[in-house]
Structure 1
Amino acid sequence: MIAAFPGCRNWTNYNRSPAAACAPSARCSPRTIRRKRIDFLSAYAECGNVSQACRLSMTSRSTHYHRLQNDGAYRLAFVSAHEEAQDRLLEEARRRAMGWKEPIVHQGKVVGYVERHSDRLLILLLQFYMPEKFGRPKRR
């Protein structure tokens, strides 16, 4: 399943003893447990959502939270996956703020492109990264 989540890199060598991270009721082989941990972390780094990562990796939320609470190495790997998810989110926000080309389709064929961008997102990014010039974002 790792091939489905190519963005993972920092924690794919995570290789802690599986017994420490397995839920007490689970009956999985150490290899299966290790693979499921990596699958979950890969999915989380890709989507940034615990529920969706659980569905993609076929891991229960309770197993994930049990691992977070009881396995320090898993917790560190999860922090790394979380940082990667945040980086992906920031990358997408920058792409939308700076603009992208959207195809114009006519009768099933691409006939041109229109430039789209988000002024509001650009303003928020500028306020966050350069508050001395653009001020802090307003809280509602």
Structure 2
Amino acid sequence: MIQCKRVYEPAAASDGYRVLVDRLWPRGCRKETLALDGWLRDLAPSAELRKAFCHEAERFDEFRLLYRGELAAHPEHWWGLLDKARQGTLTLLYAARDEVHNNARVLAEFLEDELERQGEASSPVCYAGEGPG
């Protein structure tokens, strides 16, 4: 299962594997006190895309399309998260105020689509050359 959660919300046992998916460290959070299993900066949208989006809801559809393109071009950044989602709960942490229009939501959707595409019975041979291996 994949869920999204603001980094400012308290950690819960039900969060499972918690990973920060923002390029910038969240304001007001101390690294030593944040309950976190990983920080995947390279998984976040490029600086150019993030600045162009500027967290404006009317630009979200374009942002989603462009960010999904960035994700598809770099499976090495997200490939390992698929196993975490298969094994239990994967919580994608983000700092944005908008809980609907943000990169974590797009990433969660992308990963869910990838899990569905691969299916439970998929053989790694089917994906030779598509990801790190």
* TM-score > 0.5, shorter chain as reference: no
Give the structure-1-normalised TM-score. 0.25
Q: Which has the higher helix share?
A: 1
Give the number of the structure whose alpha-carbon radius of gyration is greater.
Answer: 1
Higher relative contact order (CA 8 A, sep 6+): 2
